[in-house]
Structure 1
Amino acid sequence: MNSIRRLPVICGYGGINSAGRSSSDLAYKRLVFDLLSEDMKMKLSKTSATLQITKQTKRILRIKP
């Protein structure tokens, strides 16, 4: 009997809602974050930060109070 190698499977994929329609592939980008260019990493960080507006987020986005 041949040994079959088990591979990881992405069994969930989505965004900020259950349908994932508004995610803009954020879930995938988070999975491959280390492989993204510095510009894409910054863009993803800013996009993720806008989902949770805090004082730290405002500093990242340079939003004036």
Structure 2
Amino acid sequence: MSGLVYSSAPHLAYVIVNVIADLNAAALVSICVGIVLTAVRIVRMESVRPASCAASSPTAGHTR
């Protein structure tokens, strides 16, 4: 999955659950979705570091 999906899924879950249930349930579901997605990335051995951090490094792409 792309980073956009990983970062937007907890927010989307929060909005949907907040419409259906109360604020506490929405916050709990949002946190759980974030934890599950992070665990999936770790199990799949994907980087949990955003790509933009490496690309914005002043030495990115430079070799010595």
TM-score for the superposition, normalised by structure 1 = 0.30
Higher helix proportion (structure 1 or 2): 2
TM-score for the superposition, normalised by structure 2 = 0.31
The structure whose Rg is larger is 1
